[in-house]
Amino acid sequence: MYDIIIIGGGPAGLTAALYALRAEKSVLVLEKLGIGGQIALSSRVENFPGVKSISGFEFAENLATQVTDLGGQIEYEDVIGIRDGKTKTVITDSAEYEAKAVIIATGVKNRTLGAAGESELIGSGISFCAVCDGAFYRGKTVAVIGGGNTAVEDAEYLSNIAQKVYIIHRRDKFRAEERLVKKLEKCQNVEFLLSATVEKFCGDGKISGLDLVSTKDDSKWHIDVDGAFVAVGQIPQNDILKGLINLSDEGYVSSGEDCLTNIEGIFVAGDCRKKSIRQLTTAVGDGSVAALAACSFVDAG
């Protein structure tokens, strides 16, 4: 029996682990894929207070090392359900674990556009991770679709590798931070295609281009590309919680800044929580709040 099981090994989950371990609780972190969640895929983190610049991967590794050095256990298993009783049972694809409290920090997954040809070409020229797949496009032409921080950062990252980068955004104003947009505007090989969406990902077995449509006047045109990076936000990964935890209409865990859920002893932290600002700083903030609440719950017996 663990004091606290944390579902998700991103910044929120690992911060929760850190705080719980420092409160001398026994902690198990269950992570489906790789440690660090979305931040591990971020090329540079430059907005975390006190850290001037660090790769997302290194940031995640440092956090995981802090957790394991304190005796935290991290297992790579897919959680498929939680049973609520006197204690909490967390069911994975290969085992069942008991805990006095559970913290959900399942994060979010990449949203797709739903355009024609997209599902067929994912992995054959369509990617969701510039840092992971950018190197395949050295000297080539790529497009990034989206207008948030991820899209703008991805486009800038790719501009150092690809010969030409298009950034395609459905509005004429970016959602991304102004500072990031200004930096991107300085990249000579980046062309901004604003007020445009992708109607079709073209290519037979491998992407060859994009059919675009204007959101202003319905005009259509085609661009040739060797690769496309879809960066249009995320959707929460809370399906396993349906029927147990109250979720918002969009599927985020309903909770306030106190990180409590409607179930006693189950807490939530990070991007999977209903909130207005999803940032690294708010994720780690949630992690500490959820952990301290879970520790109090465990101590109260």
The residues that touch ligand NAP, with contacts defined as CB under 6 A, are 42, 45, 47, 111, 113, 146-151, 153, 170-171, 175, 197, 231-234, 278-279
CB of residue 124 to ligand NAP, shortest distance in Å: 21
Instruction: Give residue for tokens 């349906």.
Output: 242
CA distances from 257 to 80, 265, 271, 273 (A): 26, 16, 12, 9
Instruction: Look at residues 298, 301, 299, 300 and name the one whose alpha carbon lies nearest to residue 101.
Output: 298
Residue nearest ligand NAP, Cβ-based: 148
How far is residue 290's CA from residue 271's CA, in Å, rounded to a whole number? 13
CB of residue 195 to ligand NAP, shortest distance in Å: 10
CB nearer ligand NAP, residue 74 or residue 151: 151
CB nearer ligand NAP, residue 93 or residue 178: 178
CB of residue 115 to ligand NAP, shortest distance in Å: 8
How far is residue 166's CA from residue 287's CA, in Å, rounded to a whole number? 36
Spatial CB neighbours of 171, under 8 Å, sequence gap ≥ 6: 147, 194, 195, 215
CB of residue 142 to ligand NAP, shortest distance in Å: 17
| 60 phi/psi in degrees, rounded to 5 | -65, -45
Query: DSSP secondary-structure letter at 50?
Result: T
CB of residue 278 to ligand NAP, shortest distance in Å: 4
Q: Where are the beta strands (DSSP E) in 69-208?
A: 73-76, 79-84, 88-92, 96-104, 108-110, 126-127, 141-145, 164-169, 190-194, 196-202
CB nearer ligand NAP, residue 202 or residue 232: 232
CB nearer ligand NAP, residue 138 or residue 216: 216
How far is residue 32's CA from residue 274's CA, in Å, rounded to a whole number? 21
Helix (H, G, I), strand (E, B) or coil at 36: coil
Tokens read off for 78 = 């897919």
CB of residue 183 to ligand NAP, shortest distance in Å: 12
CB nearer ligand NAP, residue 34 or residue 87: 34
CB 37 within 8 A of CB 129: no
Q: Which residues are known to be catalytic?
A: 129, 132-133
CB nearer ligand NAP, residue 143 or residue 151: 151
**In degrees to the nearest 10, what's the CA dihedral of 133, 138, 144, 148?**
70
